[in-house]
Chains A and B, each alone.
Chain A
Amino acid sequence: MDHSSRDYAADQAPAAPQPIQFRASGGEYFRIWIVNLLLSIVTLGIYSAWAKVRRNQYFYSSTELAGSSFEYHGNPIAILKGRIVALLLFGGYNLGLRYSPLVGGCMALLLAAVLPWLSWKSMQFRLYNTSYRGVRFGFKGSARQAYFYELLLPFLSLLTFGLLLPFTHQRLKQYQHSESRYGTSHFAFDGRVGSFYKAYGKFVALYFGGLIVLGAGLTYALWGSLSGPNGVAKSTAFYVITAVIYLWVFLVMPLFLTLIQNLIWNHTSLAGHRFQSTLSWGRSTFIVLSNLVGIAVTLGLYLPFAHVRWLKYRIEATALLPHGSLDDFVAGSEQQVGAVGEGMMDVLDFDLSL
């Protein structure tokens, strides 16, 4: 387990696939998490911005690619300001909704109008504050693109009852990945719309197919109890069916995640270097389910262990396929970004890491 002195000599240009390594441990993160949690509660949430920086610094510095680790540079004061703005907006929305549907509706429209802009700013903040080998990542994009890909397209896919959803997802990833850069080099994304429809199709077929088979099978098997006069047997049968269906939902959700993460990273490249993601459905499902059980049984104390376990699996399933030396990236021009959007995404808990 000890790796306190890394292989200092081996430093040739890497040619073989470079798996990303995640060295964080559940035990160490547990200690960081619980101390930060206590301080956040005692300070009524103010400290949570510092807690976020601590956590990210720990995770980023524990993530290693080709012998070098990542670094997080977020400024806690900026994050705190962002969170306050986000809380005011959401608090206003919730209070408005209670006060009158009209005020609530207006607040909802306001939120919808500012969210794409905030999400764009959040992306910029997150990438600008990430560095690898001393060179920062970045995100360009424009407000026009943000509104097109994060408001108009989702709205259209809503209008088409989700038929356009895979298309929207592909376009969004294409936009996000091609606007992301490392130093002055841009990422590129060549995942095709067809592949997204295929991934969504597989998931939907399995999800609903399973629901129909399970629902029909159980109803048939338990028909005696369901239609019988015994009230206890009836409600027991009903609970059994509900529980099995819930379990099925938890089983197939990780499938969607693995299909999408693999699809996205297998079609992402950076200046000739490619990525590879090899998540498996079985392992993902096992980790997600056992994590949920662990968290429930320990009343939440297992949470940080679960977090590290899940992150470790997802990160280490990804590898870089180098195309030449990793020494030649050049830092771009520096641009400081405010954290208002980041605070908003924290509150919304959007997972933009996909």
Chain B
Amino acid sequence: MTDVGEIIERRARQTLRTCVRGIVLAVTAVAGLPLLVASLASVLLLPAGLGVVLAPKSLLVVRRHADLQRRWALDWSGVTIARPYRSLSTKPTNRLFRAFRRCRWVLGDPATWRDLLWVPANVPVSVVLGLLPAFLLVAGTFALVNDCGTILAGWKNVVPHNFLLQVLFLSMLPACVTAGPWLLKLHAAAASSLLAPTRKEMTARVGQLTESRWEAVDASAAELRRIERDLHDGAQARLVALGMNIGFAEQVVRDNPDLALTLLAEARASSGQALSELRTLVRGIHPPVLAERGLDGAVRALALSLPLSIDLHIELPGRPAAPVESAAYFAIAEALANVVKHSGASRAWVQLEHDHGRLVAIIGDNGVGGAHPRAGGGLQGIERRLNAFDGMVAVTSPAGGPTQVTMELPCELSLART
């Protein structure tokens, strides 16, 4: 008996939730109309110059509006709508040119215009599909209450030829319960037709991913070659010399103890150098402190080992996947190495946090500024490292400073080890 009660209660709650969500969809759709007007006005202002600043701003708000629909489609109906937008190139330029580039980035993206088209199209779709569940609920409940009233009143005023109409009204309640979620799903599907990436955009994205994957594979192959060479010329050669010295000492120890002593001392020095080389190499592959303490501890250890004071604000409630952790660590290490080498800064800061599924690292310094991503330079290395994980890096470094490097890596955190 309780089971039936529970099921009815759950269904009732679900139905109410569906109705509320439908109303939210409809209200949001109507609220989008002023956005449409503002965006069109700002685009019309483009020739006047003011639009260069206003148009991207208002269109990005439209983009947020579209993002909201995408999130609801996923959360409420399980329909995934990918974000189709192009990424903003991060080459540093002066302020004016940056505004123009931003404008071109937003206006040149076909997805922007599909977002905008969706705003008016969404109004009839949302009003019909969104308000229907609530309408069915109210009308159905009303009919039910009315009929109960009729029964209680002793079947007076019964008009038989309205029987079909009565059945229709009474069927509204079950219709609301069963069809409500499907109506929301239908809305999500309609949204997907305009808000999802087109086939062409998907192809471009696949191309981009293929490229970054090859870059990553290339970079790791080059890295392996470097490690092989370092081992071959360094530690391995030293171990050979070590074995030779000890063997020789063994032979001469009775006849010429002095020579044996010299050889053994050389062997010890050689083992020390081999160890030191191996340590440097290991740090370059995967720093031990990263394995032991994760990104949080490794960045703290790194900051302590550098010859200038670094303010740290690290808030990571868990650990990212190992490859992401490693990429982020080396990117931060590279950025800090640049600070030490080029900036002449007396102070630097690192901010590291996880926000909305992205790992965000900001590395800044009070040095001379004017940092440029040169071919083969540190900044480009960071970009390549992060590209492999769909991450991005942005640099602001006006002449005279301060310099700030912002990195973002999409990732989830696992629970912190305790």
Bound together: no
> Contact residues of B with A, CB < 8 Å?
none
> Interface of A with B (CB < 8 Å)?
none
